[in-house]
Amino acid sequence: MNNRAGGGDIHALRRPVGQPALRAGGCQVRLAERAAFHRQARGPIREGLGTAGERGLNVLLTGASGFIGRNVASALAAAGHRLKPASRRHGIDYCRMQAEADWLPHLAGVDAVINSVGIIGESGSQRFELLHRTAPSALFRACSQAGIRRVLQISALGADASAFSAYHLSKRAADDCLRSLDLDWFVLRPSLIYGRGGKSADLFMRLATLPLIPVIGDGQQALQPVHISDVVATVLQSLTTSTTRQTLDVVGNEAITFADWLQSMRQAQGLPRAAMFHIPLPLALALARLGRHFSPLLQPENLRMLQAGCRADVQPLTRFLGRMPLTVETRLFFSDLVPTGRP
C-alpha cells in the first residue's frame, strides 16, 4: 500500500462541471462569479422556496425527521405552506404502509406530497425493497386515487439505467412507478449531500480528521457534492412551478475527487493536509463486510457505488433554479436550513 499526500491543491483541481477550463484572461470573470455565489449563500438560503399565494399548500412530507426532511420542513413553513409530517416520530411506520389503503386516510385535505424517505444501508426491518419501492409506490398510487396531482420523489443520483446496487435499483423502481402515473410529478436525484447533520457527511468529516486518511485505491473517484440548501431549493421550486414531469439530477457545480473532498473537509476543520492511506478495493470490501455489523453505512455495496463515482450535467439544474448551485466554501460544511440563528 502506498502512503502519500493526495492530489495537489484542492481548488486548482475543481471546476464547474460542463464548463471549459478558463484561460488567464478569464480569471477576473471567474472571481466575480465566485463572489456572487458566496453573496448568495449568506444566511439561510431562501431563493427557490416558492410562493403559493395567501393560502399556501397542505403538504404531506414523508421522512420528515430525517436530514433532508427536517430541512425541507423548515423551508415549507418559511414559505407559508402547512406541513403534515409522516415519519415514525409522528406515528406513521413506513414499513407498514405497503398498500394504497394504508395511505388514503392520511391524504385527506392534502394538496401535494413529498417523499424524502431513504436509507443508505439495511438494518433490522429497514429494507431497501420495502422503504424505497413498496411503500412509496403505494403512496404514489394512493395520490392518483385521491386526486393529488403534485408529487415529488427524492431519489438518488445513479438511480438510472446504469444502476447496479440494491440501493439504486430500489430507488429507480419507485421513480419508474411515479413516472408511469398521470400526475404532475418530479423525480429529484441528489448526489452526495453535505451540510450540518447529514449522516454520510458526518462520517466523512470524522474520517477527514484522521492523521492518515484511508481512501479506496487511488482516491480519484469522481464526486459532485451538493449542499442541502440547493436540494431544498430544488424541492420547493418543484412544488410550485408550472413545468412538471421532470427528472432532475441535483448536483453541485464543481467536480472533485474523493481524496480531495476529504482534504477539503479536513481544511474546513482547521487541520493541515494529511497523507493518504491507499486501500485496494478487494481489501476495502472485505473490511466493509466486517464493518457493516457495526454501522449500516459500512456496506460493500456503498463502496462499490463510491468506486463507480457520481457526476452529472449541472446545466439542467442551473436552468431550473435560475442560478448555479452553491460553490463549496468552508462555512457550508457546518450550515443547513434550520432557522436557529446560527450560520
pLDDT given for residue 302 in this prediction: 78
Give the model's pLDDT for residue 40.
Answer: 39
Judge residue 324's burial from the number of C-beta atoms within 10 Å of its C-beta, 0-12 exposed, 13-18 middle, 19 or more buried.
buried
Could you tell me the pLDDT band of residue 322, with boundaries at 50, 70 and 90? Answer: very high
3-state secondary structure of 75: helix
Query: Domain residues of the chain, as ranges?
Result: 3-18+26-334
**Comparing C-alpha atoms, which of 200, 197, 204 is closest to residue 268?**
204
Q: Which of 12-16, 120-124, 191-195, 317-321 has the lowest mean pLDDT?
A: 12-16
Identify the pLDDT of residue 67: 93
Q: Where is pLDDT greater, at 293 or 192?
A: 192
Confidence label for 71 from pLDDT (cuts 50, 70 and 90):
very high
pLDDT > 60? residue 340: no
Give the residue among 292, 117, 325 at the shortest CA–CA distance from 225: 325
Provide the grid cell at 301: 455495496
CB 3 within 8 A of CB 278: yes
Q: Share the mean pLDDT of the chain.
A: 83
Residues whose CB falls within 8 Å of the CB of residue 342, separated by 6 or more in sequence, listed in order: 335
Separation CA 129–CA 166 (nearest Å): 8
Residue 69 makes CB contacts below 8 A (sequence gap 6+) with: 61, 62, 63, 85, 87, 116, 117
Place of cell 457534492: 225
Give the distance, in angstroms, between the CA of residue 172 and the centroid of all CA atoms in the same chain. 15
Q: What is the pLDDT of residues 44-54, one digit of tens each?
A: 333 333 444 44
- Higher-confidence position of 298 and 270: 270
CATH class of 3-18+26-334: alpha beta
> What pLDDT is attached to residue 296?
65
Percentage above 90 pLDDT, the chain: 63
**Angle subtended at Cα 106 by Cα 104 and Cα 107, rounded to the nearest 5 degrees:** 65
Instruction: Supply the pLDDT for residue 247.
Output: 98
Q: Percent of the chain beyond pLDDT 70?
A: 80
Examine the pLDDT at 33 and tell me if it is beyond 90: no
Confidence of residue 310 (pLDDT cuts 50, 70, 90): confident
Highest mean pLDDT range out of 3-7, 15-19, 145-149, 337-341?
145-149
Across residues 305-334, what is the average pLDDT?
92
**CB neighbours of residue 60 within 10 Å:** 24
User: 254-279, pLDDT tens digit by residue?
Assistant: 999 999 999 999 999 999 999 999 99
Give per-residue pLDDT as tens, 116-175: 999 877 777 889 999 999 999 999 999 999 999 999 999 999 999 989 999 999 999 999
> Do the Cβ atoms of 205 and 341 come closer than 8 Å?
no
Q: Which of 336, 327, 341 is nearest to 40 (CA)?
A: 327
- pLDDT for position 126: 84
pLDDT tier at 292, thresholds 50, 70, 90: low
Count of C-beta atoms within a 10 Å radius of residue 340: 10
Q: What is the pLDDT of residue 339?
A: 39
Q: Is the pLDDT of residue 250 over 60?
A: yes
Tens digit of pLDDT for each residue in 169-228? 999 999 999 999 999 999 999 999 999 988 888 989 999 999 999 999 999 999 999 999
pLDDT band at 5 (very low <50, low <70, confident <90, very high): very low
Sheet with 254-257, side-by-side order of all strands = 15-16, 254-257, 222-223
At 41 the pLDDT is 36
Q: Is the pLDDT of residue 27 over 60?
A: no
What's the pLDDT band for 24 if we cut at 50, 70, 90? Answer: very low
Residue 101 scores a pLDDT above 80: yes
Q: What mean pLDDT is predicted for residues 306-323?
A: 93
